[in-house]
Amino acid sequence: MLETSAAKAGGLKIVRMNSAARECRECLKRLAVLPTRIRVHTDLDESMPLQQWMTLLPPITTNLCEAAASALASHGYRLTSKPIPLLIQEDWRQFDPDTARALVDLDDEYRKLLGKIYEQRDTPEGKQLTGYRIGTRLNDLVPTLVSPDAQTVLFMDSKIVLESPKGKTTRVWTEDIYYMLATGGPTRVVHHAALVNVRTREVLWWASKIYHRTDARNQQAVAATVEDFFSDMPPAR
């Protein structure tokens, strides 16, 4: 179990690791990364109209996924599939209807599991990350999205919050706003991830962190959050 806080990155990083992750470095080396769910939130106004917002999305999502692939490779993982973003409709059209449906169902299973792990993070089971398994929908995606030689699969999702230029000057002064200003404003990046054994569907590693004061339009800043986020993954070397 690890809980670390980095002032330069902001926010508390919560990490849980199953003992099996430490005992099986060889099986960690071949890693498939499932399509990465990315959610971007902002208040659209005349200072950030919809068209401008839409042009921001492709470079943001591409940069995030490329940074994730680079960070994982630097930790010794051999990626059998690289992160691809799932955000706008065009991202989903690359999959056939059955695969897209399975991805949606698996995302629901994954989010329920994340909620359970977070709620139980301070229990004996939560601290040791024992007994947590992703749902059987993963089995339906293995033939199409997971290489036959991959032994682990990574679930990753990110939430990006952007503040429009006008939003910075028209904030409603509430307790929430005072908190956001203390942590660098509403602009932030949030990462969650879980490393799962393909065969048993057991969660081997889970992490969650909020990066305050991080503008996703800054590619270097986003890449730094991804590198920091994966720094506590079980080593695959």
- 16-39 average pLDDT score: 81
Q: Helix, strand or coil for residue 112?
A: helix
Q: What is the mean pLDDT of residues 83-91?
A: 88
In this prediction, residue 39 carries a pLDDT of 86
Supply the pLDDT for residue 25: 65
Residue 23 scores a pLDDT above 80:
no
- At residue 84, does pLDDT exceed 80? yes
CA-to-CA separations, 104 to 20, 141, 171, in angstroms, rounded: 28, 11, 35
Give, as one character, the DSSP assignment of residue 75.
Answer: T
pLDDT at 2: 38
pLDDT in tens, 106-162: 999 999 999 999 999 899 888 899 899 999 999 998 888 888 888 899 999 999 988
What integer is the mean pLDDT of 161-168? 72
Q: For residue 185, what pLDDT band results from cuts at 50, 70 and 90?
A: low
